[in-house]
Amino acid sequence: MVQVGRPHVSSVRAGAGSGRLRRVPAPSPPTRPARPHPLGVTPRSAEEGGGADVAVLAAHADRVEVCVFSADGRETRTALPDVEHGVWYGHVPDLAVGSRYGLRTHGRWDPERGLRHNPAKLLLDPWARGLDGEVALRPEVFGHAVDDDLRGDLAVPDPRDSAPHVPRSVVLGPLPRHLRPTPGERPRVPWADTVVYEAHVRGLTQQHPEVPEEDRGTYAALAHPAVVEHLRSLGVTTLELLPVHASTSEVALRRRGLSNYWGYNTLAFNVPHAPYATRRARAAGPEGVREEFRRAVRSLHAAGIEVLLDVVYNHTCEEGPEGPHLSFRGLDDATYYLRDAGGRPLDVTGCGNSLDFTDPRVVQFTLDSLRYWVTEHGVDGFRFDLMTTLARGRDGFTPDHPFLVALAADPVLADVKLVAEPWDVGPSGWRTGQFPAPVHEWNDRFRDGVRRFWLTDARDTALGHGAPAMGGRGLRELATRFAGSADTFDVRRGRLTSVNFVTAHDGFTLADLVSYDRKHNEANGEGNRDGSDSDTSYNHGVEGDTSDPEVLQARRRSVRNLMATLVLSSGVPMLTAGDEFGRSQGGNNNAYCQDGPVSWVDWDLAPWQRELLEDTRALLELRRRYPVLRTAGVLRGHPVREQRSDLLWFGEDGEPMNVDRWHEGERRVLQVLVDGRDRGEASVLVVLNGGARQRDVVVPEVEGLPRYLPRWSSAPDRRRRAAPAGRALRVAPWTVRVLASR
């Protein structure tokens, strides 16, 4: 036995299982004592005596060992001698920069109480900044006894050593001086000018013909001139990357021979995912992977493009109680994971476990991790997956949760972009519009309202349901979303609180949204039961591929209408990679496990795709050209209030909308004047015909705006003449037209 409170070192050949431990002398005390903070590994310089100070949160353990692995696989274990407030700490003399290490805990095995200590299992340090190796999902990596099908009995701890089958944590020093972020490096794009582009590292570049084959699908490819030029020419200011934290795949996916392509299954929160690095970077070890990611961020910054990370702090890859035993579970299951009042595991994420943000240590861990990505890698912000989980207190979601308060007060994190996915699957989990500043939010109400107006209502019309199915909601809903969703977000924060989107990684692509009425997820191996069953798509009469020219024309017009509404609306637009030229996933609306052509962006564009790309570029150019379309400020416009506003609403006759008109169910034509006169700017008139008939729309007469110049149309339009105020403008069915005062 090793007595707690006294350092102890032993060594054993890694993987030896029941091999005999060889005792070696305890180290001499360091010149200064180790401290319980910061958590993780803090290397000492040679002048300080070398080695490293280690602090590990394991509040319910009886002993914690740091296991250092030599190049030949020999494992040396050092028991941390001191514990304070649940943090075990001490100095480990043979732990230095470049060392491979892991942790082992001793203590009670009582899974029902969250006590999962099993010293046979090598655990990752949650604060580790480097990782060497991958998880092999074998029986040995489970803390409890399982069979070859990875099913077993939680009550029985498994005695087999997991070390040969799990990765090692790696001690990394700071980045080389020439790679460290500099104060003026970040582009700092104002929210008003921001255009977000959501992309997957591999999916965006795996099939790009101009990227060298050996670099495709990697961090290096993100910074390739051809990729950067595409983003710049499109008008993107901010690249939002699907998770790049080191991740692994779930047991169920491994059984089906698939992998977690999206990466929402985090293994190590401070480590870039190694498979996204080039072979040459991986050959250089964890240092090479980290440096390649950092170079990509720096190169994008040099092009004026910000980098946001989609981060998953709501759960880990250890899944439910029957899942693998890799890190948090073995260190301190009772502290890290959320439990109900009866002590039972509580899952509000749908992923098997949820991190417990009622515990200060979990909040601390997340803040430490976020600061690391900003200060070490220079990233410009984060999109928080299922952020409601991160703001759950003892009584559920609270907008003054300590984590949210810390984000707002932290001098590092309050200075970057913060975006919430404002829901989870727990009780009262939908919280759109309820997060405090400085957090901005994905606006699912925008997504659903815009889809209904252009797609669901079109489908109802085609099926002969007509106005009763629309219920008078169409124009009112669309106008509210166009105006920044004042019914959802605090108007005092301004319209840019809303991050608008029509599609995201989760769901149909834009092209599939107009081509499929039903999901087609058979390739996922779940009997097509996975993915959303939402009915806000419309195949325009034919399911999937077709050569019918009328159907194709209608679909392409719908894509343009959706894209135009997204780009021109008040708020921050977010595009999904490939939507700008009609990328399809063949109707798969949950391609999280499809690491192949289904999910990869195909850059071999047909003529219609090139036309769509040019239309998307033109729309984003309009947004840049006319400041009134993106200006921040208090949201004054509202579709049902008669007041001086920067958004003026008119019917097809050119007369202002009033309360009665807003409630006329058959009304499907709307004009919105985005008024720039008070600012001395050009005004923009957006004309929307959401009906099945061509309409003659009278251009509104507004003081100081005698005429409008045509700027864009979702339908073919050869007329380029000015449109005088008070005159009729012919607008095709299901069409958006954009005009400007100059």
First to last CA, the chain: 83
DSSP 549-612: HHHHHHHHHHHHHHHHHHHHSSSEEEEETTGGGT---TT-S-GGG--STTTS------HHHHHH
The burial of 426, by beta-carbon neighbours within 10 Å (0-12 exposed, 13-18 middle, 19 or more buried), is given as buried
Which is the catalytic residue, given 140, 250, 310, 421? 421
Q: How far, in Å, CA of 723 to CA of 708, rounded?
A: 5
For residues 562, 567, 569, 571, the Cα torsion angle rounded to the nearest 10 degrees is: 130
* Cα–Cα distance measured from residue 683 to residue 708, given in angstroms and rounded to the nearest whole number: 9
Q: For this structure, is 621 an active site residue?
A: no
User: What is the rounded CA–CA span in Å between residue 712 and residue 331?
Assistant: 59
- Taking the CA atoms of residue 125, residue 127, residue 132 and residue 137 in that order, the dihedral angle to the nearest 10 degrees is 50
Scored b (16 or more CB within 10 A) or e, 702-736 reads beebeebebbbbbbeeeeeeebebeeebebbbbbb
CA angle 36, 40, 43 (to 5 degrees): 95
**Beta carbons within 8 Å of 405's beta carbon, 6+ residues apart:** none
Among candidate residues 385, 460, 580, 595, the one labeled active-site is: 385
Residue 385 designated active-site: yes
CA 119 to chain centroid: 35
**Which H or E run contains 659?**
helix 659-662
* 192, two tokens: 């008003």
Which tokens is 255 given?
């059984």
- The Cα–Cα gap between 335 and 355 comes to 9
Buried b / exposed e along 642-661 (16+ C-beta atoms within 10 A) = eeebbbbbbbbebeebeeeb
Residue 68, H or E segment: strand 63-69
DSSP summary character for residue 345: B
Assigned token pair, 117: 């200590």
Cite the active site residues. 385, 421
